[in-house]
Structure 1
Amino acid sequence: MTITYNGQKMDTTAATVAALIAEVNAPEAGTAVAINGAVVPRSAWEDTRLEESAVIDVLTAIQGG
C-alpha cells in the first residue's frame, strides 16, 4: 500500500503501526505516532491497522539542549 510517511509518499507492506515502526527502524522509546492527525498511543500500535493513503507522522525525541 502507499502511505504518506513524514511528508513523503512511501510504499509499505506493514499492516500495523508497530510493523511500520520496525520497517523504518524507528526506536520505540521516545517515539510518537499520529495517523491522519490523531495520536496513536503506544499501547495501540500492535492493533492499529494502516490504511491506503494514510498520512502518518512519526516523531522521535532526541536529547539535547
Structure 2
Amino acid sequence: MSTLTLTLNGKSAEVPAGTTLRQLVAETIGREVAVDGTAADGGRLGVAVAVDRHVVPRSAWDATVPRDGAAVDLVTAVQGG
C-alpha cells in the first residue's frame, strides 16, 4: 500500500494514499464523520480544517485528498475563557 507524508498540526504523519480530509478528521478526533462533514452521531464537531493555509469547507472534506507534503491543520474549538 502506498502512503503519503503530511505535516499534520505541525508534526510529520504518514497516511495511506487516497485518504480524504473526512477520513483524516475522523481518525484524528476519534469520531465518525458523515460524508457532509458533520458528526455522524448528530453532535457538534467543533473542527475546522486548513490545507496549506487554505480553509476547506466541511462540504468538501469527503472529496479532498491532500497531496504528498501538504500541511494540514485541524483546529478544534474549545469552550472557556
TM-score (norm 2): 0.73
Aligned-pair Cα RMSD in Å? 1.5
After TM superposition, give the deviation of residue 43 of structure 1 in Å. Answer: 0.8
Moved over 2 A (4+): 25-28
CA distance in 2, matches of 1:33, 1:26: 15
Structure 2 unaligned residues grouped into runs of 5+: 32-38, 40-44
In the other structure, the counterpart of 2:80 is: 64
Structure 1 unaligned residues grouped into runs of 5+: none
How do 1:1-65 residues align onto structure 2 when only pairs under 5 Å count? 1-13=4-16, 15-25=19-29, 28=39, 29-65=45-81
After TM superposition, give the deviation of residue 60 of structure 1 in Å. Answer: 0.3
SS at match of 1:51: coil
Q: Which has the larger radius of gyration?
A: 2
Q: Which protein, 1 or 2, shows the higher relative CO under an 8 Å CA cutoff with sep ≥ 6?
A: 1
CA distance in 1, matches of 2:48, 2:30: 10
Farther-moved stretch of structure 1 (17-26 vs 36-45):
17-26
Identity in percent = 42
Paired AA for residue 54 in structure 2: A
TM-score (norm 1): 0.89
